Amino acid sequence: MIRQFSFTWTAIGWLLMGYGLFFVLSPLQAQSAIKKFSLELKNESLPEALKQIEKAGGKNILFTYNGTESYRVTVSIHEKTEHEAIDLVLTGKPFVCIEREEYFVVQRKKSDKAIAVEGKVYDEKGMPLPFVNILALAADSSFLAGSVTEEDGSFHLPPIAGEDCLLKATYIGYCPQIIPCRQQNTIRLQPDTELLKEVVITASRPLIERKGGTLTANIAGTPLSLMGSAKEMISHLPFVTGSDGEYTVLGRGTPEIYINGRKVRDKTELDRLQANEILSAEIITTPGVQYGSSVGAVIRLRTIRKRGQGMSGSFYTDYSQGHEPIGNEGISLNYRTGGLDIFVKGDFAEINNYRTGTSSQDIYASSDWNQSTEDKSKQTYRTFNGELGFNYEIDEDQSFGMRYMPGTNIGNAHTTNEGITRILQDGKEVDHLHALRQTDAHTGWWQAANGYYNGTFGKWNIDFNADYLYGRDRIHQYAENNGIEDATSSNRVRNHLYAAKLLITAPLWKGKLSFGTEETFTNRHDIFLQSGFSADADDRIKQT
């Protein structure tokens, strides 16, 4: 079997062929005449048939087991050249033979016509499901295209190659489903009973609402409120794919994210904000000019505004156990009186990520080659994040507030990556590589501050936000191969950011008029020292 994986190996030259895999070729002596031969193949697997033809014809045939092994061959080859014999065994199969000077390549035919994919999605009762994410995936799970179902449950995808394509349908509260991609598709989703039994619906509003060019997901009282942190919840929104804070809005690229009108500049905020604290999420796929011409999509989160008087507080904890434990705990306190809300929050996270993997690749040419790789990685870090500030509602039309957010790594963030690669030729080990890379990073106190004002005067609205960010890191990296030090490096980085945005809006005829300004100032100092594999650097970058 041939499986894709990445590696570095300098002992043998590899040529990129076929499906993007690497093949090794042995030198071939020039042949003075085209050789013809005869073969009888009876119910042979296609890989075995190709190997017999290669042996009889004398010229290497490069192919992958992945995809060819499921085909059988029964054919009589009489006085044929090697190319003619290959064409015979490929007759009626989705493969093509390409001849090079010193070898043949057998690869899957490329689809010369794409198909327009469409269909409908229904729930368990046969009712159409709107706003279901539909993803078209290649056989290796890479993304091809995506869409969201309409009010009647229908969806349409741009023309794609249908061969080996899969459709994945996901909708909050229902189990994901993957089906083979056809030109016409019908998908029925079944409820996620484990999730739905934990939800108490507190309102009659639908989960998703469409208003103009904006989709609004109601979070409070829906399954979305059970998704843990905001970072986990966002990936379940319509049009949104991705995870771990890296999101893509289908057809629009990476979105800007706002919380209560304030742009999120530190993605760890999404870890600390819990989904059950969010009232709604807006997905804007056609953002206005106030977001900048380079912004393709916007996600706006609106939190639940807490009411009441006096002191209140909450505590949360998350814990998961795999090979290593992962924990996250947080506490918040609020004091409210009149329109004033004073708050303090703290969050502590202990992260231990551990991953192992094995891969193997077989290559059949003049010799049988096998490359196997075992790798493992471990990442450990502990962080603290705090928040202190206030919000003040002067009246229904005016509010302002400030917040200060410090944070730090507790000790070093340590990452270890280790891999062992073995190369076998005809069952004999010809190369062995042990690679080790270690990274230690220590982030001192980082700081962020934000101030805002929002006021409405008649038909005019003023929205102002200002941000300050400061951070510094020390990073040390070490790499070795087969026990010999390969490289070391260290970084010291300091960052400053100042930003402000003013937006003034008023109704104008049947639309609205918006104007304002956005200013950003950054200052970065990066000192890079290393053990001789490149040049040291002392970089200072200022941008306005």
Residue 102, in any domain of the structure: yes
Place of tokens 């049009």: 239
Residue 328, in any domain of the structure: no
Residue 228, in any domain of the structure: yes
How confident is the model at residue 147, as a pLDDT? 85
Residue 317, in any domain of the structure: no
Do 277 and 423 lie in a common domain? no
- Mean pLDDT on 262-278: 84
pLDDT tens digits along 497-530: 999 999 999 999 888 898 999 899 999 999 999 9
Residue 26, in any domain of the structure: yes
pLDDT at residue 140 tops 90: no
Name, in order, each residue with C-beta under 8 angstroms of 243's C-beta and a sequence gap of 6 or more: 232, 235
How confident is the model at residue 60, as a pLDDT? 83
> 378 in the Ramachandran plot: left (φ > 0), alpha (ψ -120 to 50) or beta?
beta
Distance CA 401, CA 397 (A): 14
Do 440 and 356 lie in a common domain? yes
pLDDT tens digits along 203-247: 456 788 887 667 899 998 888 888 888 988 998 898 898 877 789
- The CATH number that applies at residue 165 is 2.60.40.1120
pLDDT tens digits along 176-194: 998 888 888 999 999 887 7
Measured CA to CA in angstroms, residue 345 lies from 89, 330, 405, 476 at distances of: 70, 7, 9, 32
How confident is the model at residue 299, as a pLDDT? 94
How many structural domains comprise the chain?
Answer: 4
Residue where a domain terminates, one of 194, 219, 248: 194
Q: Which domain holds residue 354?
A: 349-543
| Least reliable range by pLDDT among 29-33, 286-290, 433-437, 496-500 | 29-33
Beta bridge partners of 494: 472, 525
- Mean pLDDT on 441-452: 90
Average pLDDT, rounded, for the chain: 83
Do 190 and 204 lie in a common domain? no
Residue 382, in any domain of the structure: yes
Residue 175, in any domain of the structure: yes
Place of tokens 């500030």: 389
Closest CA to 215 of 224, 227, 207: 207
Do 367 and 407 lie in a common domain? yes
Do 371 and 509 lie in a common domain? yes
Residue where a domain terminates, one of 303, 330, 361: 303
Name, in order, each residue with C-beta under 8 angstroms of 113's C-beta and a sequence gap of 6 or more: none
Do 256 and 145 lie in a common domain? no
| Least reliable range by pLDDT among 263-272, 329-338, 419-428 | 263-272
Residue 9, in any domain of the structure: no
Do 185 and 253 lie in a common domain? no
- The CATH number that applies at residue 249 is 2.170.130.10
Do 382 and 514 lie in a common domain? yes
Q: Can you give the three-state secondary structure of 362-378, one letter per residue?
A: EEECCCEEEEEEEEEEE
pLDDT at residue 29 tops 60: no
Do 138 and 104 lie in a common domain? no
Place of tokens 């049988």: 368
Do 531 and 399 lie in a common domain? yes
Q: How confident is the model at residue 65 (pLDDT cuts 50, 70, 90)?
A: low
Do 143 and 269 lie in a common domain? no
pLDDT tens digits along 321-374: 877 888 888 898 989 888 898 999 999 988 898 989 898 888 887 788 999 999
Residue where a domain terminates, one of 108, 137, 162: 108
Do 35 and 154 lie in a common domain? no
